[in-house]
Structure 1
């Protein structure tokens, strides 16, 4: 009796594990074999789409048949065996070489001319069905992408919220992904070192092993995390909540591409490490310890001899703080006036929101015009993709800033509290001295910290520069009674001057003009 191979298939592993299709196919083939008197020598079961060329089980079966292991082949239906024309050609070739190919579910005789024609037509229809299905799936995916929805499994750090809903941040893994970006952006670890570090923190393959270098690299390059979905040459603004800011993502890319040199771990943290610059060549001064004293020196060729002791820098900083007029009494009185003026800043924030919303709408119009230009073939696809991504990046920056000031009261309270804390920290430096753990206060208050020869040059950021120029803190400390309330000032001209001065300072605190990407067209009324 001739021995036949039997082939059954479903498209996915889930269908194979939870569905009944495989059993139904098997019962149908067994019934057909019994009626036709065929002997089934082996069953070949596959859980993969027939649209894919080169299926493992299917190709293994063909090789065994071609070697003479079986006299024939029984399929349940033609589309179970092939849904692409290449695989159907392989089956047709088996029939041409004398292998008895049977179809249990269809009354098709492959040994007759009419039966072969009917089978060929069914194979072409099955292949066309797959082509159409692919197009419909792509159409649906493009529709979801335009809605800001990611139609595939979200990247690590996010959880799927079901069809039609944006992905949500995983409360466990999400913070670890953010930490990976922050750690790498600091420039202390390479990608190889980062993957081991994050594996110890809990960001691993699931079995305790660190990510492969390629996978960690892909994670750090994934724009999805800051809210932009990139699919081939197309970019879409995602509806999901960003896990990181665009600024943090760019910082990580700068480290990766070498625009910011990766720094090695520093065992000894010097107080002014990476804060002091040579004013002649704009190079960061190198810190070193000599004979028990800490020095900062410039190592560039043209600036030999630019060297200063740390104690001199600390003394210069304390003197500069003293010139601000800081004192406990001055800070207390200034806080009263500053807090009162903050109340009027709500209107300023509202104006800022209007400006950002207008910029966002202009950005949307720019995307529409760019798309029209691409459809009119005025620009090529690559240029279109690059310009669109730049526009969408700007849109995300605007959305991020709008989100930050969406709650006006909370935003103003935070910025005001932060500024008053900085003043208190500077006063503490003046009293006690400077240490490495106070570096962040210097970074937030000084815009230029340079060394020229043996002298220290300090330029405060705009808000503190205004206070120094106007003698605000000196006035608050020396004339508390006169400035206790704005209404208590008998000199109307002086009162208006005080109001205008305080509004200018508050405006600079809320919207610093000496930082990049800041629009200074707003003001506190």
Structure 2
């Protein structure tokens, strides 16, 4: 007696809408078995792709055939049994050994003869060809999409897939949430977990109303897609989608990520450390940092300054940085330029401005030429790859190197145009407000006061001596400026 195992399968990633559902296959097989008087011992179903070996339920079918619990298989079509050469070979081998006596398909003719086995092997081969060809077509389509600057997969947070254009569009609502997440993290006032909770609060979440994982938040912050750059299968492409995160904000976030993830180092760079001494005992002033954590994942940092009390007994207590800063600013603001120096100072600023603009123009032109040269190299590299002169792996490696070089040059060019004369306005304000720390650094970088003065004078002569002497004025917290 021939005993059939009915096997039904539909892959979860199957794109073919013509393939029947498992329920429909069961109904068809029952009707077919009733019409042809076939004895079915059991139905075994599976929702898994047959592209690769390793299906548990299919292995169970073969195991029962091997043990003699059944000796025939009933299925909708040969492609339900196998879409790879290994599983197809196992079926044909069981037919050759006589352990598998028959195969029945409502949509395919088969009989256990040399001709029937040959036709079955062709059917298995066609099934494998369909999978391989489909995979290659998908890859080819993805490559073309990437060349056109279109992301071929699920859109990152803040974007959405457009089914009509098959492109990526900015999600007007969620993009604002993502941008705010970048801004909050760049400020250093919130953790990865806090960002996850923030996104959940405003509707960006995983399935089942779950918050986005911390790892996904990190990936979002490091994803250069937000800068218009696509990286797919280890290869860079220039994206055509709109961006809503600036390069400056993205870089600030990277610094914050690096700050959090790098190994902690001893010591801190406090703003006023080494600048003040205790007004009561003359000992050095030290600073301490305290972080207060909140239940929502956020935190707040507080910095306090206090006397080290290493010289003698001192009654002074700590003072917060927010209280100390205005006192120091007041002392510094009392410093200013001699009125007689203002024309020379303005002359020096104007000359420096012209010099910086000229330098920036020359540098921008040079970098523009380097960018153009890099683009030419990229085009030559692509030509060599298309002519099959260059191996795929070498092409990918060299393309990434050139693309990365191009990005660095573009960023450098952008920084030159932004920062070429960024220091000039604060320097002009120095004549009125005397922001000494910044001004001295700027003057020193340009050769000091001698570059503007009619005589060889030092920077210290730019400031009225009687006002410098006021730097010993005791602070309200018991401190004095050194």
Whole-angstrom CA distance in 1 between matches of 2:113 and 2:68:
23
Q: Which residue of 1 aligns with 2:379?
A: 368
Whole-angstrom CA distance in 2 between matches of 1:469 and 1:166:
58
Equivalent position SS for 1:114? helix
Whole-angstrom CA distance in 1 between matches of 2:205 and 2:148:
32
- Shift of residue 235 of structure 1? 0.6
- Shift of residue 398 of structure 1? 8.2
Whole-angstrom CA distance in 1 between matches of 2:119 and 2:155:
44
Instruction: Work out whether residues 78 and 103 of structure 1, in 8 Å CA contact, stay in contact via their aligned partners in 2.
Output: yes
Whole-angstrom CA distance in 1 between matches of 2:118 and 2:250:
59
Which digits, 9 at most, give the CA deviation of each residue in 1:226-250, with x for residues without a partner?
2111122211011112242344434
Q: Which residue of 1 aligns with 2:20?
A: 21
Instruction: Work out whether residues 4 and 70 of structure 2, in 8 Å CA contact, stay in contact via their aligned partners in 1.
Output: yes
Instruction: Work out whether residues 28 and 105 of structure 1, in 8 Å CA contact, stay in contact via their aligned partners in 2.
Output: no
Whole-angstrom CA distance in 1 between matches of 2:330 and 2:20:
83
Moved more, 169-178 or 81-90: 169-178
Instruction: Work out whether residues 287 and 306 of structure 2, in 8 Å CA contact, stay in contact via their aligned partners in 1.
Output: no
Q: Which residue of 2 aligns with 1:6?
A: 6
Whole-angstrom CA distance in 1 between matches of 2:210 and 2:432:
46
Q: Which residue of 2 aligns with 1:174?
A: 175
Instruction: Work out whether residues 85 and 123 of structure 1, in 8 Å CA contact, stay in contact via their aligned partners in 2.
Output: yes
Unaligned runs of 5+ in 2: 276-285, 289-303, 308-315, 340-345, 347-359, 454-482
Instruction: Work out whether residues 8 and 26 of structure 1, in 8 Å CA contact, stay in contact via their aligned partners in 2.
Output: yes
Q: Which residue of 2 aligns with 1:299?
A: none
Instruction: Work out whether residues 446 and 461 of structure 1, in 8 Å CA contact, stay in contact via their aligned partners in 2.
Output: no
Equivalent position SS for 1:173? helix
Q: Which residue of 1 aligns with 2:105?
A: 103
Whole-angstrom CA distance in 2 between matches of 1:394 and 1:187:
26
- Shift of residue 367 of structure 1? 2.2
- Shift of residue 106 of structure 1? 1.7
Structure 2 counterpart of 1:317, from 332, 337, 341: 332
Whole-angstrom CA distance in 2 between matches of 1:140 and 1:399:
34
Unaligned runs of 5+ in 1: 265-272, 297-308, 326-333, 335-348, 406-414, 431-441, 449-456, 471-525
Equivalent position SS for 1:21? coil
The alignment status of 1:82 with 2:82, answered yes or no, reads yes
The alignment status of 1:390 with 2:401, answered yes or no, reads no
Instruction: Work out whether residues 223 and 229 of structure 1, in 8 Å CA contact, stay in contact via their aligned partners in 2.
Output: yes
Whole-angstrom CA distance in 1 between matches of 2:137 and 2:151:
16
1:36–1:310 distance in 2 versus 1, CA, 3 Å:
closer
Q: Which residue of 1 aligns with 2:459?
A: none
Instruction: Work out whether residues 142 and 152 of structure 2, in 8 Å CA contact, stay in contact via their aligned partners in 1.
Output: yes
- Shift of residue 257 of structure 1? 4.3
Whole-angstrom CA distance in 1 between matches of 2:118 and 2:392:
48
Which digits, 9 at most, give the CA deviation of each residue in 1:21-40, with x for residues without a partner?
33765565345323421133
Q: What is the TM-score when the length of structure 1 is the normalising length?
A: 0.58
Instruction: Work out whether residues 233 and 385 of structure 1, in 8 Å CA contact, stay in contact via their aligned partners in 2.
Output: no
Q: Which residue of 2 aligns with 1:137?
A: 138
Structure 1 counterpart of 2:305, from 288, 295, 299: 288
Equivalent position SS for 2:157? coil
1:82–1:98 distance in 2 versus 1, CA, 3 Å:
closer
Q: Which residue of 2 aligns with 1:453?
A: none
Which digits, 9 at most, give the CA deviation of each residue in 1:191-223, with x for residues without a partner?
455444554565432544333333333323322
Instruction: Work out whether residues 10 and 80 of structure 1, in 8 Å CA contact, stay in contact via their aligned partners in 2.
Output: yes
Which digits, 9 at most, give the CA deviation of each residue in 1:372-425, with x for residues without a partner?
6775469945742541341352476489889x99xxxxxxxxx99xx99x8999
Instruction: Work out whether residues 29 and 76 of structure 1, in 8 Å CA contact, stay in contact via their aligned partners in 2.
Output: yes
Q: Which residue of 2 aligns with 1:92?
A: 92
Whole-angstrom CA distance in 2 between matches of 1:311 and 1:142:
59
Equivalent position SS for 1:172? helix
- Shift of residue 104 of structure 1? 2.8
Whole-angstrom CA distance in 2 between matches of 1:263 and 1:172:
37
- Shift of residue 164 of structure 1? 4.8
Whole-angstrom CA distance in 1 between matches of 2:274 and 2:207:
48
Q: What is the TM-score when the length of structure 2 is the normalising length?
A: 0.62
Instruction: Work out whether residues 65 and 100 of structure 2, in 8 Å CA contact, stay in contact via their aligned partners in 1.
Output: no
Whole-angstrom CA distance in 1 between matches of 2:305 and 2:442:
25
Q: Which residue of 1 aligns with 2:469?
A: none
Q: Which residue of 1 aligns with 2:480?
A: none
Instruction: Work out whether residues 73 and 102 of structure 1, in 8 Å CA contact, stay in contact via their aligned partners in 2.
Output: yes
Whole-angstrom CA distance in 1 between matches of 2:154 and 2:238:
17
Which digits, 9 at most, give the CA deviation of each residue in 1:469-513, with x for residues without a partner?
79xxxxxxxxxxxxxxxxxxxxxxxxxxxxxxxxxxxxxxxxxxx
Whole-angstrom CA distance in 2 between matches of 1:234 and 1:226:
16
Which digits, 9 at most, give the CA deviation of each residue in 1:353-373, with x for residues without a partner?
999876654442232245567
